[in-house]
């Protein structure tokens, strides 16, 4: 069984790498056979090449993106759910989008699956 501390370290690395625009470090958080569904209801991106393409698409939409934890994180065995806020900056304006991520992890603590729950229509100017 994967250790809770390992899962927490992967989540922290995932958020830090995404915020730092470190594509290689972010992709290193995923298992080779991982898939993501972001947002939930869209087609799954299966495998590292498809996940890398997702990175390229999402980082091409804004000048930068910061992921901020919102305080709720539950890790049980190989699964975790946590809240965060994506804060994309576009044209000098920063926006906010609240997200709940659900992930599963392999024995090494790498992400096997990721599902992002959010409503794109709730994107709003950030208040701070």
Whether residue 125 is contained in a domain is answered as: no
Q: How many domains does the chain have?
A: 1
Give per-residue pLDDT as tens, 59-105: 999 999 999 999 999 999 999 999 999 999 999 999 999 999 999 99
The domain of 38 spans: 4-119
Whether residue 127 is contained in a domain is answered as: no
Whether residue 28 is contained in a domain is answered as: yes
The pLDDT of residue 27 is 98
pTM for the model stands at 0.95
Confirm if 86 and 65 have CB atoms less than 8 A apart: yes
Whether residue 11 is contained in a domain is answered as: yes
Q: Quote the CA–CA distance of 14 and 2 in Å, as a whole number.
A: 17
Whether residue 49 is contained in a domain is answered as: yes
Residue 20 pLDDT greater than 80, yes or no: yes
The pLDDT of residue 1 is 84
CATH label of the domain that carries residue 83: 3.10.450.50
Whether residue 126 is contained in a domain is answered as: no
Active site members = 14, 38
């Amino acid at each position: 069984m994967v250790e809770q501390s390992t899962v927490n370290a992967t989540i922290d690395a995932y958020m830090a790498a995404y915020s730092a625009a470190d594509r290689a470090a972010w992709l290193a958080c995923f298992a080779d056979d991982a898939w993501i569904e972001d947002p939930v209801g869209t087609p799954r991106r299966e495998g590292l090449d498809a996940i890398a393409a997702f990175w390229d698409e999402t980082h091409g939409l804004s000048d930068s993106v910061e992921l901020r934890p919102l305080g709720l994180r539950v890790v049980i065995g190989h699964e975790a759910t946590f809240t965060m806020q994506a804060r994309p900056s576009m044209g000098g304006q920063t926006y906010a989008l609240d997200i709940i991520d659900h992930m599963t992890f392999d024995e090494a603590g790498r992400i096997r699956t990721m599902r992002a729950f959010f409503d794109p229509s709730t994107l709003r100017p950030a208040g701070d």
